[in-house]
Amino acid sequence: MSEPRQIVQQSVYYQVVDYGHIRVKLAEVLNSRGVTRNRLRKLTGSSYEVVTRYYNADLKRVEMVDLDFMSRICYALDCTLEDLLEELENYYSELDAEFTERKLEGITILEAMSYEQHLRALERAIQTEQRKLDALRIQEEKKRTQVVEARKETATIEKLREHKLEDYRKAEQKAEEVLIDEFVSSARAHAAS
């Protein structure tokens, strides 16, 4: 008869790490500027549902931030992305301070490595968000430049139109003066004959 086999089961432990989040502060920005969600919807050309989802971001976490939508909000409200997002740096600073405090108290190597991994992941996330922010700033600057150029073109066209109208009025006045001179000359010629 064979002996019963022992089954050794290996346990695998996973540590779930919260790498922080970015909080959308659209409600605060709208309230401080006195802009309604409906007005923002009209300004951005977005649906009311999308605006409301970002507006209620404090209640429900926004899983994915649409940077195009956020840039339209920034353009419509004349604000920056920093005004709308709570930065990861705050969370990073808090975690770093906690890590420093825990080191002074004495922690295990595994805990220290976990903190360091978490901090490095946050650094990478901050760098990624900074690159996205830089790209948005470039995009925003291009849009502002386009708006300024369009305004310049509009102003130039208005000035050109005014100049043409002034030239037309001068030409019309000169034609009237010539007509009056001819009429007076003709009337004098008739009176002399």
CA gap 157, 155 in Å, rounded: 5
Higher pLDDT, 105 or 16: 105
CA gap 2, 98 in Å, rounded: 57
Q: What is the CATH number of the domain that holds 73?
A: 1.10.260.40
In the chain, pLDDT over 90 holds for what percent of residues?
A: 15
Does residue 45 sit in the same domain as residue 66? yes
pLDDT at 16: 45
Q: Please report whether residue 183 resides in a domain.
A: no
Q: Which domain holds residue 150?
A: 88-164
3-state class of 111 per DSSP?
helix
Most confident of 1-5, 76-80, 181-185: 181-185
Does residue 102 sit in the same domain as residue 124? yes
Domain boundary among 86, 119, 134: 86
Domain count, the chain: 2
Helix H or strand E encompassing 180: helix 109-192
CA gap 100, 125 in Å, rounded: 21
Q: Which are the contacts of 103, defined by CB distance < 8 A and separation ≥ 6?
A: 112
Domain boundary among 65, 86, 107: 86
Higher pLDDT, 122 or 37: 37
pTM score above 0.75: no
